[in-house]
Structure 1
Amino acid sequence: MFTGNKGEWSECYTFLKLLGEGRLYAADAELNKIPDIYYPIIKIIRDEACGKKDYIHRENVIVVDGDTNRTVLEISADDCVRKATYIYDRIIKSKGPSFAIPQIEAFLNELKFKKLKAKSADKSDIRIVVYDLNTGMKPTLGFSIKSRLGGLSTLLNAGKTTNFIYKVTGVNIDAKMVEEINSIATKSKIRDRISAIKELGAKIEFIEMASDMFELNLQVIDSLLPSILSNFVLNFYQGRGSSLEELLKIMKEENPFNFDTRFNHNFYEYKLKGFIRDVALGMTPAKCWDGKFDVIRLNLQIRFI
């Protein structure tokens, strides 16, 4: 049975809606569709454990085995749109963190789906071959899908590979005190533990990233980026700010890395934007980052007000 959270079902919804409509529309800054600007979709490429499948949009949708180039299915494009609409309705109404939609189980099996979310070696959630009306070219474009139908989506998921390692200096803390601090299990336990450490008069200094790969990836973007991000993280858990805008303002005012700001260069803002851009367009913590974007950049704008 296919089960997934709202984000995973949103990817399935996007796949079926694009496949059925056959058009990839542009949008304005408020994500409103621009009806007159679009790419005609030639096909959507999906990688399954059993091999690649090409979903070709014509009057009907034709499913072709990517290895043998043999047509394995032909279905109505309108049926894809109807199924997408049904999935959308279920996503909106669902209350649980993960759920199934039994009514479309047979349809997804018919489409040769093995999993709800197709496998991918990069940050592209969907790969689409489009026809460029201006140039006549047929590029394959990768897109990362971020859904607003559930909770707020993230650009970078936290995990063992994204941990920052700090050291405590300035005071002698015995084993009993360490145990007491580590036993703090409140809802905001990290902030409360840091607060307890600071109350002892100790300093907390960044040492390194837990993952060598992630640290090197950050250094590819900017050699100081691991240290700069560690400052953001520490200030956040010290309760000094809850948004990037607030934390960036603190960083610019305190200038902990002693940049020459005589001419009002936006050192911290520029470096942070570079990090967000690369995470959005391909960089992941566990894979060597070569600076090549995996997903399509459509008027990406990052503003700090």
Structure 2
Amino acid sequence: MNRGEWGEPYAALRLLGDRKLFLSDEDGNANPNEWMEVLKVVRQETADRLVTYNCNVNDMNVDVVVNERHVSTIPAEYFLRIAESLKEDICGAKGRSFNVSDEVLEFIKGAEMHHLKAKSIEKSDIFISARDPRNSIVRENIGFSIKCEFGENPTLFNTAKASAAKYRISGMNSQLMDRINSIIDAKGHASVTGRCALLRENGCDLSFVGYEYAPRAKCCAFQENLDQINPRLPYVIERMMWNHFMSGQTEIDIESVTNRIITENPCDISLGESKYPYMVKMFLYSAYCGMTASTLWDGRSNVKGGYITVKETGEVVANYALESESFKNFLFKHCYLDFPSTDPKHGDYGRIYEENGEYYFKLNFQVRIK
């Protein structure tokens, strides 16, 4: 598996060894004064295989239960030792995908982790029961998705054909279209910024039409979803893409991009310094809660708890999405725009095309957490 995928069993091992889950502050660091005592870890490996790890209160052992049948008891220190070995294997590995040491694999198998990538249920990769030591309140079966900093930065909002902003071009002809579409970068991929620059140089005017049609939803699902969050949001997201590609601005972190939107005030609103960040935070939070570009979203959240970050240091920290203001601020500070492949099967943008005698151009994006 790749580094991010190995991070999922690592998180489970670490939690069972440490028996503590530290909560993150708004900067993404573990808050040493806020943590939960881990009582139970549950992995739904497949539809018919549920593995539960019960942390014994009276000793430092972990009871392993598969489908309600007790299988074994393992000292918690073993989980911690193997977690450290797995971290060393991940950090020292070469290549995109790799295996780990026989010692780690043997322990993982003995601990009943037969499927290293657990079945994701309502965006949750792992479920935890934990006690808050400050008030002794026990929270049962909190669902977390797992993001790992060992590998690539995790994606918050995935690109899709339906997330593309569509523009109508004036001042275009077939010869110029062919010339612009021939611009590629050093790797042989479409140079979207280069094509946008040539559009500007030739005085072409682009007018925003809307977002792409989503066949499965039988409508422009992304535009409908953004409109549900805030009617101005379709234009805010479009301007974020426009500023990056068409104005030559290099900012990609969400906070800086939003500050530029505040200055431009494309929606001509009052109190933009508070309204624009609020809109963008709601978009990021909605993306985390299950909103996508290709499927109509009813506004209901799939989130049961939040997400766990495996940091580059091996620390495991949690963000509670249910504590939404703090979580929204975290996303706002740590998310950035990323620009995916222009391949027709993926982002499908950056190419001029003709349709019913008119010329069109699309821009697209995704959002990652740094």
TM range (shorter): 0.7 to 0.9
Counterparts in 2 of 1:250 and 1:80: CA distance versus 1, 3 Å: same
The separation in 1 between residues aligned to 2:62 and 2:143, in whole angstroms, is 20
> Which has the larger displacement, 186-195 or 107-116?
107-116
* Paired residues of 2:35 and 2:132 also in contact (CA < 8 A): no
Identity %: 28
Counterpart selection for 1:56 from 38, 51, 54: 54
Unaligned stretches of 5+ residues in structure 1:
none
Question: Within 5 A, what are the aligned runs for 1:273-288?
Answer: 273-286=281-294, 288=297
Q: 2:210 aligns with which of 204, 208, 211?
A: 208
Structure 2 SS opposite 1:257: coil
Question: Quick check: 1:248 aligned with 2:258?
Answer: yes
| Cα displacement (A) at 1:293 | 5.4
Alignment CA distance shift 1:186-1:105 (3 Å): same
Q: Deviations over 1:174-203 (max 9, x none)?
A: 2x3322222221157011111222222122
Deviation, structure 1 residue 111: 2.9
What's the offset of the Cα at 1:30?
A: 5.3
Q: Which residue of 1 aligns with 2:268?
A: 258
Give the 5 Å matches for 1:1-305. 4-28=1-25, 33-35=30-32, 37-49=34-46, 50-58=48-56, 59-66=60-67, 69-103=68-102, 104-133=104-133, 134-161=135-162, 163-174=163-174, 176-187=175-186, 189-210=191-212, 211=214, 212-238=220-246, 239-243=248-252, 244-259=254-269, 261=270, 266-286=274-294, 288-292=297-301, 294=303, 295=306, 296-297=320-321, 299-300=326-327, 301-302=329-330
**Relative to 1, partners in 2 of residues 1:285 and 1:201: Cα closer, same or farther, differing over 3 Å?**
same
- How many angstroms does 1:229 deviate by? 0.6
Query: Which of the two has greater strand per residue?
Result: 2
> CA–CA distance in 2 between the matches of 1:85 and 1:74?
20
Looking at structure 2, the residues matched to 183 and 122 of structure 1 have their Cα atoms a distance apart, in angstroms, of 43
Bigger Cα displacement from structure 2, 15-24 vs 57-66: 57-66
Q: Output the CA distance in 2 between the equivalents of 1:289 and 1:87.
A: 41
Given the superposition, is the C-alpha separation of residues 40 and 246 from structure 1 closer, same or farther in structure 2, using an over 3 Å criterion? closer
1:249 partner letter: N
Q: TM-score, normalised by structure 2?
A: 0.71
Backbone CA RMSD of aligned residues: 2.6
SS of residue in 1 equivalent to 2:43? strand
Within 2, Cα distance between the matches of 1:257 and 1:271?
Answer: 12
**Is the 2:40–2:129 Cα contact (8 Å) retained in structure 1?**
yes
Q: Distance in 1 between matches of 2:122 and 2:191?
A: 34
Distance (Å, rounded) in 2 between the aligned partners of 1:213 and 1:47: 31
TM-score (norm 1): 0.84
| More off after superposition, 7-16 vs 187-196 | 187-196
Q: Is the 8 A contact 2:235 2:267 kept in 1?
A: no
Q: Give 1:32 deviation, angstroms.
A: 5.0
Where relative contact order (Cα < 8 A, 6+ residues apart) is larger, the structure is 2
Deviates more, 1:32-41 or 1:70-79: 32-41
The 8 Å contact of residues 290 and 302 in structure 2, kept in 1 or not, is answered as yes
CA distance in 1, matches of 2:114, 2:222: 31
* Residues 114-146 of structure 1: per-residue CA shift (max 9 Å, x gap): 432212133333221112341533322122333
Q: Which moved more, 1:234-243 or 1:291-300?
A: 291-300
Structure 2: 5+ residue stretches without partners: 215-219, 307-319, 334-370
